[in-house]
C-alpha cells in the first residue's frame, strides 16, 4: 500500500513543486521532499513486486494473477516515468503543464482500481 500511495502522491507533489518553482524560480523544500518521497517509495515498489510474485507462486499463478501482474507492470512503467519527471524537475525543467500532470496523476487510479477488481473478484 505504501507504493500505491506514492503512485498518487508523487505526481501530485510534482504539480505543487512546479507551481512553487514557477513562483520562486528555485527548487525549495517541496522539491527536496518530492525527490525523497520518490526515492523512498521506489524501495517499497521493489518489496511490493517481489512479495506479489512470491504470493502468486504460492497460489500457482492462476490466470487472474497474470492479468494483475500486467496491470502492476503498467503501474511500474507509470512510476518510472514519474521518476524521469522528478529527475528533470531537480534540474529545474518542468516540460509538462499542470493540466497534463493532473491527468497523468489520475491515470494511475484506473490501474489501482483494476488491481483491486482483479484481486477481489478473481474473474478468471
**Confidence label for 57 from pLDDT (cuts 50, 70 and 90):** very high
Rounded CA separation 42/45 (Å): 5
> How confident is the model over 60-74, as a mean pLDDT?
94
Q: For residue 25, what is the DSSP state?
A: S
pLDDT on residue 60: 93
Find the domain containing 79 and state its range. Answer: 2-121
Q: Please state, in angstroms and as integers, the Cα–Cα distance from residue 32 to each residue in 3, 81, 109, 110, following that order.
A: 19, 18, 25, 28
pLDDT on residue 5: 87
> How confident is the model over 63-75, as a mean pLDDT?
94
pLDDT on residue 28: 84
pLDDT on residue 58: 95
Per-residue pLDDT of 1-54, as tens digits, reads 788 889 999 999 999 999 999 899 888 888 999 999 999 999 999 999 999 999
- As given in the structure block, the three cell numbers for residue 60 are 500457482
> Interior CA angle at 24 toward 36 and 14, to 5°?
35
Per-residue pLDDT of 84-110, as tens digits, reads 999 999 999 999 998 999 999 999 999
- As given in the structure block, the three cell numbers for residue 116 are 483491486
**Confidence label for 124 from pLDDT (cuts 50, 70 and 90):** confident
Q: How many domains does the chain have?
A: 1
Amino acid at each position: 500500500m505504501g507504493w500505491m500511495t506514492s503512485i498518487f502522491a508523487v505526481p501530485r507533489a510534482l504539480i505543487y513543486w512546479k507551481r512553487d518553482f514557477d513562483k520562486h524560480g528555485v527548487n525549495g523544500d517541496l522539491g527536496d521532499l518530492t525527490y525523497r518521497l520518490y526515492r523512498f517509495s521506489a524501495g517499497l515498489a521493489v518489496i511490493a513486486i517481489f512479495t506479489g510474485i512470491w504470493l502468486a507462486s504460492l497460489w500457482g499463478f492462476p490466470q487472474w494473477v497474470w492479468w494483475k501482474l500486467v496491470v502492476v507492470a503498467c503501474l511500474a512503467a507509470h512510476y518510472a516515468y514519474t521518476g524521469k519527471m522528478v529527475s528533470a524537475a531537480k534540474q529545474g525543467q518542468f516540460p509538462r503543464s499542470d493540466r497534463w500532470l493532473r491527468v497523468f496523476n489520475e491515470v494511475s487510479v484506473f490501474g489501482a482500481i483494476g488491481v483491486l477488481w482483479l484481486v477481489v473478484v478473481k474473474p478468471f
